[in-house]
Amino acid sequence: MQTDDDLVWICQYCGIHNTVWLDLTIEGKQDFMEECRICCRPNRIIITKDNKDNVFIEARPSDE
């Protein structure tokens, strides 16, 4: 079983692809802030898992 992964998210301000390392052994939802590597603006990153252990990543503007 895979225990970690690099996931891609898209900056909500400049549209650049960023990657974030994720520990897949953490259960449930993860919700944290990441700064874009290009424009340095914080994006809210939300990680969810379904009941088949598929991982979904979503980026939102931090001021939403």
Nearest residue to 58 (alpha-carbon basis) of 27, 22, 3, 26: 22
Residues forming contacts to Zn ion in the complex (CB under 5 A) are 11, 13-14, 16, 36, 38-39
DSSP, collapsed to helix, strand or coil, labels residue 2 as coil
Paired strand residues for 23: 4
User: Which CB, 24 or 46, lies closer to Zn ion?
Assistant: 46
Which two structure tokens, joined as six digits, stand for 17? Answer: 């692809």
Least spacing, CB of residue 16 vs Zn ion, in Å: 5
Name the residue nearer to Zn ion (CB basis): 30 or 62. Answer: 62
Question: Please, what is the minimum distance in Å from the beta carbon of residue 43 to Zn ion?
Answer: 8
CB of 4 to Zn ion, least distance (A): 24
Do 9 and 40 touch, CB atoms closer than 8 A?
no
